[in-house]
Amino acid sequence: MDLGLADRTVLVTGGSSGVGLATVRTLLAEGARVAACGRDAGRLAEAAAGLGAGPDRLYTGVCDVRDAGAVRDFTERAADRLGGRVDGLVNNAGQSRMKTLDETTADDWRDELELKFAGVLNPLAAARGHLRASDAAAVVNVNAVLAKQPETRLITTSAARAGILNLSVSLARELAPEGIRVNSVCLGLVDTGQWTRRHAAADSGPGYEEWQAAIAADRGIALGRLGRADEVAYAIVSLLSPRASYITGTSIDVCGGVGRGIL
């Protein structure tokens, strides 16, 4: 199926690895122009080299999403290089903070909330004018099932992700009159390289497939395995497509059935 993304321009934050890089790759395969940013210049350059796209199709730039000015500059440069437009935005930049309540400091709370909320609000503010001018504008916020099923070992991240899920619904209502759709993709355990590295570091025991199956069983993942970055990317790109033009204010779980709530 043609998703109607050919020659449209999409910005992807956190696009140098994992789900972000898989999303960039999928968008390029659909014929889109893509601008990807990240904080590590070396990883961005390596990712770009592996994608094999020309400068008319792919633009990369170093950018910290917490810096509103840097995000604005990146967005304008990307628009200038890729046809003067922005049709889609994927807010993917972020990380998890593995701490319990008693291990968490006030600075941890501030840092986590700033990263999660700035990671959505700064790129949106920078791209909003361009998105408003598009005939098929879409924003996808990459979130996690932690937003609905918090874990005490990830208390700050769980709380921040719940806030972003709430914010995404508010943004969908606020921006609908401007023709901008806003949706979320909530992922579960996805093997973006960290899990294979953990298995290699263990240096003994079962093979990787058996090892990840044991983790899936422990976490209650119905499909019995970890997810892949490209499986998340498919959901993201589908929501960016003009074919999803009547979908806004919702979230899609890509978690192998770990989500047990009805809502």
Domain boundaries, the chain: 9-189+228-251, 192-225
d(CA 6, CA 74): 22
C-alpha to C-alpha distances, 139 to 168, 169, 179, 184, 255, nearest whole angstrom: 9, 12, 11, 8, 20
pLDDT value at position 263?
A: 53
**Residue 193, amino acid:** G
Give the pTM. Answer: 0.94
Distance of CA 206 to the CA centre of its chain: 31
pLDDT at 95: 78
**pLDDT at residue 152, as a whole number:** 85
Q: Give the pair of three-digit tokens for residue 135.
A: 């005939």
Q: Please say whether the structural domain 9-189+228-251 has been given the CATH code 1.20.120.10.
A: no
Mean pLDDT of successive 10-residue segments in the chain (263 residues)?
95 96 98 97 94 94 96 98 96 86 89 95 98 98 93 90 97 98 96 78 78 87 94 98 98 88 55
pLDDT of residue 260: 63
| Backbone dihedral angles phi then psi of residue 149, each to the nearest 5 degrees | -125, 80
